[in-house]
């Protein structure tokens, strides 16, 4: 009895195990044979390089963007020797400048307050005297002419005021001598801007005194200087426009001799120079 019961239990266990194994294989085969659903499109992944997001492009110039580029105001166009009025510069603008002239320029040195430049000026100086009269002390301690002084170092700007002491010259002779002086300055200062200043106005009383210092002659000299500036490629500063009153003369209240100025006129002169430049 015991032996038969054991055999029956063993056969049941074997049958159960075989059933489980058969069920497993049938299920696996069924899963492998499931056909694709025709309503679901097959997904094929493709590579589109245009859709790849890379790092942002950086300009070679970091500041070159529409929002960060500073606005640059163009310099006014200069036609001919005349210079339009502009915003004033500060004194440092003249740190590479030489101011050349006669006693009027020496007064500018004394009373304008402009000290960042070099001055080469002397009483009674003329266009002929700048190259012949030893009136200044050079850097080496020797006496020299104004042209010797200018040639000591390079300048970016040279301002010239000469002519009132030559008012009795023929205009053609005056411009000839002026041109000779310019030849020397251009030779020693090959890369500078030269500003030719016109003769300054005189008072109405001085102009009518009959001694040659009259505004008609001064204006004729200035026309010749303006033409010379245009011919040589230099710039012209109209000091009659800058310093004369509405009547075209130097105000009598601003001069004691009709030629030389008060401090007020020197300050107007400085303002004009600071607002007329290139």
**Domain membership flag for residue 114:** yes
pLDDT of residue 75: 57
pLDDT of residue 37: 37
Residue 97, phi then psi, degrees to nearest 5: -110, 150
pLDDT tens-digit series, residues 165-204: 999 999 999 999 999 999 999 999 999 999 999 999 999 9
**Domain membership flag for residue 193:** yes
pLDDT of residue 76: 60
Pairing of strands 136-137, 143-144: antiparallel
Low-confidence winner among 53-57, 208-212, 214-218 (lowest mean pLDDT): 53-57
**Domain membership flag for residue 235:** yes
Q: What is the CATH number for 128? A: 3.40.50.1110
Report yes or no: 159 and 150 within 8 Å, Cβ to Cβ.
no
**Domain membership flag for residue 77:** no
Over range 63-77, report the average pLDDT: 43
Q: At 146, is the pLDDT very low, low, confident or very high (cuts 50, 70, 90)?
A: very high
pLDDT of residue 122: 97
| The pLDDT of residue 74 is above 90 | no
How far CA 77 is from CA of 70, 101, 221, 273, 277, in Å, comes to 21, 28, 26, 18, 12
**Domain membership flag for residue 206:** yes
State the SS3 of the chain: CHHHHHHHHHHHHHHHHHHHHHHHHHHHHHHHCCCCCCCCCCCCCCCCHHHCCCCCCCCCCCCCCCCCCCCCCCCCCCCCCECCCCCCCCHHHHCCEEEEECHHHHHHHHHCCCCCCEEEECCCCCCCHHHCCCCEECCCCCEECHHHHHCCCCCCEEEEECCHHHCCCCHHHHHHHHHHHHHHHHHHCCCCEEEEECCCCCCHHHHCCCCCCCHHHHHHHHHHHHHHHHHHCCEEECHHHHHCCCCCCCCHHHCCCCCCCCHHHHHHHHHHHHHCCC
**Domain membership flag for residue 45:** no
Residue 257 structure tokens: 């001799």
Residue 182 structure tokens: 């310019």
| The pLDDT of residue 80 is above 90 | no
**Domain membership flag for residue 73:** no
Q: At 115, is the pLDDT very low, low, confident or very high (cuts 50, 70, 90)?
A: very high
Report yes or no: 150 and 97 within 8 Å, Cβ to Cβ.
no
Number of domains in the chain: 1
Report yes or no: 179 and 217 within 8 Å, Cβ to Cβ.
no
Residue 121: give the domain boundaries: 91-275
Tell me what the pLDDT averaged over the chain comes to: 81
**Domain membership flag for residue 102:** yes
pLDDT of residue 44: 34
């Amino acid at each position: 009895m015991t032996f038969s019961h054991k055999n029956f239990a063993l056969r049941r266990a074997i049958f159960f195990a075989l059933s489980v194994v058969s069920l497993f294989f049938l299920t696996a085969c069924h899963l492998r044979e499931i056909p694709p659903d025709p309503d679901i499109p097959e997904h094929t992944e493709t590579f589109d390089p245009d859709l790849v997001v890379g790092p942002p492009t950086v300009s070679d110039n970091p500041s070159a963007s529409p929002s960060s580029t500073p606005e640059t105001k163009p310099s006014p166009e200069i036609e001919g020797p005349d210079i339009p009025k502009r915003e004033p510069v500060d004194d440092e603008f003249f740190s590479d400048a030489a101011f050349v002239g006669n006693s009027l320029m020496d007064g500018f040195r004394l009373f304008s307050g402009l000290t960042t430049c070099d001055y080469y000026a002397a009483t009674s100086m003329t266009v002929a005297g700048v190259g012949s009269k030893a009136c200044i002390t050079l850097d080496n301690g020797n006496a020299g002419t104004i042209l010797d002084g200018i040639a000591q170092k390079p300048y970016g700007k040279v301002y010239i005021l000469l002519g009132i002491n030559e008012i009795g010259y023929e205009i053609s002779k005056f411009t000839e001598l002026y041109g000779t002086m310019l030849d020397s300055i251009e030779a020693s200062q090959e890369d500078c801007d030269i500003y030719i200043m016109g003769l300054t106005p005189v008072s109405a009383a001085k102009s009518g005194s009959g001694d040659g210092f009259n505004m008609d002659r001064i204006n004729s000299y200035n026309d010749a200087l303006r033409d010379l500036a245009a011919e040589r490629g230099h710039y012209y500063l109209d000091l009659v426009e800058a310093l004369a009153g509405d009547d075209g003369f130097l105000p009598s209240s601003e001069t004691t001799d009709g030629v030389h100025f008060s401090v007020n006129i020197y300050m107007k002169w400085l303002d004009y120079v600071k607002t007329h430049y290139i």
